[in-house]
A and B are shown apart, each in its own frame.
Chain A
Amino acid sequence: MTTDSAKTPAAGRMGYRFNLVGMLALAVILLWGLVAIFAHLLIPYPVGEIVDFDYFGPMSAQFWLGSDYLGRDMFSRIVMGARYTVGISVAAVAIACTTGVVLGMIAAVSGGWTDTLLSRFLDAMSSIPSKLFGLVVVAAVGSSIPVLIFTLSVIYIPGAYRFARALAVNINAMDFITVARTRGESVFYIIRSEILPNILGPVLADLGLRFVFIVLLLSGLSFLGLGVQPPYADWGALVRENIGGLPFGAPAVMFPSIAIASLTISVNLLIDNLPYKIRDRSSQ
């Protein structure tokens, strides 16, 4: 005997539930993603061109988000900046998480010497302060986009490794892994087919969190002048360039900061409010 309650909010056809905050966050992330992809179609003025006679100009119909310290259009610069910020961060987080998770699972499944060597090596790496490491690498080999991506991913591999290893160790103790081992399966099969599907949810949440850290670190490096080099600029570099406008409350320094905040907060909110599957099947 069951009584159906009123139609549940946002219960999709697939039997997933997704709340409003999560949906809003996803919308903001998708928006920034689209902006990054179609940036060249959206910009009203070329990014490097001085178009305003005033500097730190106010918002107007002509310059939607005002102008920067040289009189360049801020809207165009932020839209193009999304490419660098989102693009570099996505590439770095993909490399960091893939490497970290794969190594973490290998360590958990293999155990013994492999585990000890990998764990100690990555522990040693995580003891290096991230900003300092970034500074040293960029100072040594100069700043370019591949170097930035490589540096950021190396900094975040140990964290992803620790997280994945901790999850995989728990799964590895389950009987179905023992069954797979006594069947004679290879380490590669156990990792891909038995462990990965069971840790995927938390790993994706961790990926989101790590993306936020990378955006912030990239912005921090750019703010210090070690990130994307002029005339191009990511959001962190835009904040640095226009920091002189802060006493005037210029939109040129506010909007890049808002862009960074909106992206990182949205990713955070999304991973806290991921859609979850409704297990109660008979309600469908």
Chain B
Amino acid sequence: MTNLVEIRDLKVEAKTDSGRIVEIIKGVSFDVAEGEIVALIGESGSGKTTVALTLMGHARPGCRISGGSVKLAGKDMARLSEKARARVRGTEVSYVPQSAAAAFNPAATIMEQVIEITRIHDLMPPAEAKSRAVELFRALSLPEPDTIGDRYPHQVSGGQLQRLSAAMALIGDPKIVIFDEPTTALDVTTQIEVLRAFKAVMRKGGIAGVYVSHDLAVVAQIADRIIVLKGGEVQEAGTTGQILSNAKHPYTRELLAAFEPKARGAAPLVSEARPILEIENIVAGYGAVQSNGLPLVCAVRSVSLTVEKGRNLGIIGESGCGKSTLARTIAGILPTTAGRVIFDGQELAPSASKRTHEQLREMQIVFQYADTALNPAKSIEDILARPLTFYHGMDGATRNKRIAALLDMVQLPSSVRNRRPAELSGGQKQRVNFARALAADPKLILCDEITSALDTVVAAAVIELLKELQRELGLSYIFISHDISVVEAICDEIVVMYAGEKVEQLMPSTTGKRPQHPYSQLLFSSVPKLDPHWLDGLERDPEQVRAYCQR
């Protein structure tokens, strides 16, 4: 027997709230050999996590495995009793979740939780389990491996916690580990360390893995084979090299195409380069103002920047660098502690409630999560109608016509008018979110991570849409993202932020100009490339890593 896992014609069905049965996995078959890492990739809703969970014999509430077999080392996980499955989980198959922060119990030390599996299955005495855990911590290149287990989950960083959850999965010496998007929630600079640690441990122990992800570049670094899923069916399967260089299926090509670097193209020529927004030495943060004039937690420290009319500014940086706080400050949601915001020649009041109607209209903000940015109780029509009535006093037929025009602009069918946000897909919701900002006829739109919650292919389409609207309407964008490729695709200038400060301003269009600041260099070099050998070949200056990675 060479194959550790043999999945044959797997079917999973779900029951909707009207009692209708929907088949969500429609006959998936694949194998995983001993020591091989197979990646499952696809957009959200493609069934990749559902398939991975069946390896543990688990189907989420409301779902059940309705057909086919999932053979793991000769045992059919779909047929085993719940008790027999519980014996296999943790010892033969284990799971690393997407959000390690949510998977750890905040009230127990890390060591207690890491060795819990050995206690449940009575595998080894606690002292032995602890020394084994320390070995794993060392293998996963965690700092202070001897004492990190005594800490509580909130005392370590996100990247460390993700590696600790891998240690938890590996302690029972499983034959196969399921990774469910383990690096999606991490910054690119941290992601590299985590990926490296995973890869090293898996290779060394000869452990097989199933790696679920939507990010082709990440998968390329770690997987031996790639299986592309869409709509609960396998679209294409092959070795990593084959898929990357010679993709057959149109959907796989689409995924690959979303990675092609798209240059911003020549910036639209504006006759007079007039600044639309200037901010001077902005200081903002949370908590009461201290005696030194700074807020208790200072998120933005003396940042200045300028956006010219018809041009786009990108702001990038890791999570917690203050980029979203900066956007909220510009929009007046969080008043500045010091500094000035000058918009279209006028100085704006620090708080939105003190700004005039026109000032508010001309600057709109679009948030990351369209789910929470659209009122779930209102129809799309009502959502778009409000700014039209509020700012332009439109009603009746004029407003109706304008709503139709707006939906047309963001390329949505007019049939969505009477639907509620919950009935739209993620990409459609983000388009409505954007259409609402356009309804105000703004001059500047602040886009706060608007593509981060979307699938690669959908995000690429949204970016194309933004560019097209800019050509038609002469807008300016401030584009905030942690995803460098997205920012490069749309922005004329890029500001790199680190720890609340602007460290560098770059012009991606001027070729040859490389990032100068060490943090920008680190950030740019950390973006995964489609090349499978990229991670192994990547050299990073350990000094820089120590200085800028909170690991």
Q: How far is the CA of A279 from the CA of B18 in the complex (A)?
A: 8
Q: Which residues of A line the B interface, CB within 8 A? A: 1-5, 8, 11, 15, 17, 174-176, 178-179, 181-185, 193-194, 197-198, 200, 276, 278-283
Comparing B162-170, B204-212, B217-225, B364-372, the segment that makes contact with chain A is: B364-372
Q: How far is the CA of A193 from the CA of B385 in the complex (A)?
A: 13
Asked if A179 contacts B367 (CB within 8 A), the reply is yes
Asked if B375 contacts A176 (CB within 8 A), the reply is yes
Q: Which residues of B line the A interface, CB within 8 A? A: 16-23, 26, 331-333, 352-353, 355, 357, 360, 364-365, 367, 369, 372-378, 386-387, 390-391, 422-423, 436, 440
Asked if A11 contacts B18 (CB within 8 A), the reply is yes
Asked if B376 contacts A178 (CB within 8 A), the reply is no
Asked if B390 contacts A181 (CB within 8 A), the reply is no
Asked if A178 contacts B17 (CB within 8 A), the reply is no
| Known A-B contacts A174-B372, A197-B375; A183 and B360 likewise in contact (beta carbons under 8 Å) | yes
Residue of B nearest to A3 (CB): B21
Asked if A194 contacts B375 (CB within 8 A), the reply is yes
Asked if A1 contacts B360 (CB within 8 A), the reply is no
Distance (whole angstroms) from the CB of B39 to the closest CB of chain A? 26
A-B residue pairs, 4 tightest by C-beta: A197-B377, A280-B16, A175-B373, A283-B18
Q: How far is the CA of A194 from the CA of B377 in the complex (A)?
A: 8
Asked if B372 contacts A8 (CB within 8 A), the reply is no
| Known A-B contacts A2-B23, A182-B332, A281-B423; A175 and B369 likewise in contact (beta carbons under 8 Å) | yes
Q: How far is the CA of A282 from the CA of B386 in the complex (A)?
A: 30
Asked if B18 contacts A178 (CB within 8 A), the reply is no
Distance (whole angstroms) from the CB of B480 to the closest CB of chain A? 14
Distance (whole angstroms) from the CB of A14 to the closest CB of chain B? 12
Residues of B within 8 A of A278 (CB): 16-18
Asked if B17 contacts A198 (CB within 8 A), the reply is no
| Known A-B contacts A174-B372, A175-B369, A176-B375; A182 and B19 likewise in contact (beta carbons under 8 Å) | no
Q: Which of B19, B333, B360 contacts A5 (CB 8 A)?
A: B19
The contact sample of 13 A-B pairs, CB cut-off 8 A, is A2-B20, A2-B21, A11-B18, A174-B372, A175-B369, A178-B333, A181-B333, A181-B352, A182-B364, A183-B387, A184-B353, A184-B355, A280-B18
Distance (whole angstroms) from the CB of A242 to the closest CB of chain B? 48
Residue of B nearest to A9 (CB): B19
Residues of A within 8 A of B22 (CB): 2
Q: How far is the CA of A127 from the CA of B21 in the complex (A)?
A: 52
Q: How far is the CA of A198 from the CA of B365 in the complex (A)?
A: 23
| Known A-B contacts A3-B21, A5-B19; A185 and B390 likewise in contact (beta carbons under 8 Å) | yes
Residues of B within 8 A of A183 (CB): 360, 386-387, 390-391, 440
Asked if B20 contacts A280 (CB within 8 A), the reply is yes
Residues of A within 8 A of B367 (CB): 175, 178-179
